Structure 1
Amino acid sequence: IEENSRSKNSNFILALSSIETDKLRQYLEEGNQIFIKRKEEMSNAVRRLMEVGIDEGIVRAQENREYEYHVFISAMLGYSNYFCSTSNLATMDIEKIKENAYTLILKSLS
């Protein structure tokens, strides 16, 4: 955690920046249960999104449903990582970054 908290490119910093200070204190006091609940909520949202994509024929159902989840999360982490790096801010093409994440999902799940 210490190493990740010092890196300006860290996904850990991204996660912390989206949590209000009082909420962070609550999370730390209540232990991992809140983080586990958030992960479950995120997993359910990703699964619903994948079901819509499958129903609409945008992506193909995979034998390994966890693979679908990991592809989506990987694409979103790659997308969000651009915003953690201050060196990319001046040259950022947000539409291209979105397109890259979408292409990653389509190619991985087609």
Structure 2
Amino acid sequence: MVETKQNFDSRLRVLTRKHRRMANGYTTRLRGDGLIVVKPKRRKAQFPLKGALLVLAGFFAFKAFMLISLGELTYADRLARLQNGTIVEQAGAWVMQADPVTKTIVTFTRVNLL
């Protein structure tokens, strides 16, 4: 009796796990003997593109805000000091340099705010 219950519980666990996986989608295949077999779709590891784009847009907005609030001369002076620092500071200066995207955001913001 105990063996029958353990067998039933293990089959029930397998079916429950398969059912949970099939909640995300499934495929059906016809085997050579005519039996239709249902299998859950495999989940693909997806890169969060929308999140990465939001982070990138936020970073450019931050750079534009810094450029507007400090002014171009002060911003350039601080970048020059960073470029003369350690390797990490030089990398930060390279990342924070005023690129065309940042300049476009600054121009757009200045035109629309003033």
* TM > 0.5: no
Scaled by the length of structure 1, the TM-score of the pair is 0.27
Scaled by the length of structure 2, the TM-score of the pair is 0.26
Which is helix-richer, 1 or 2? 1
Larger RCO, structure (CA 8 Å, separation 6 or more): 1
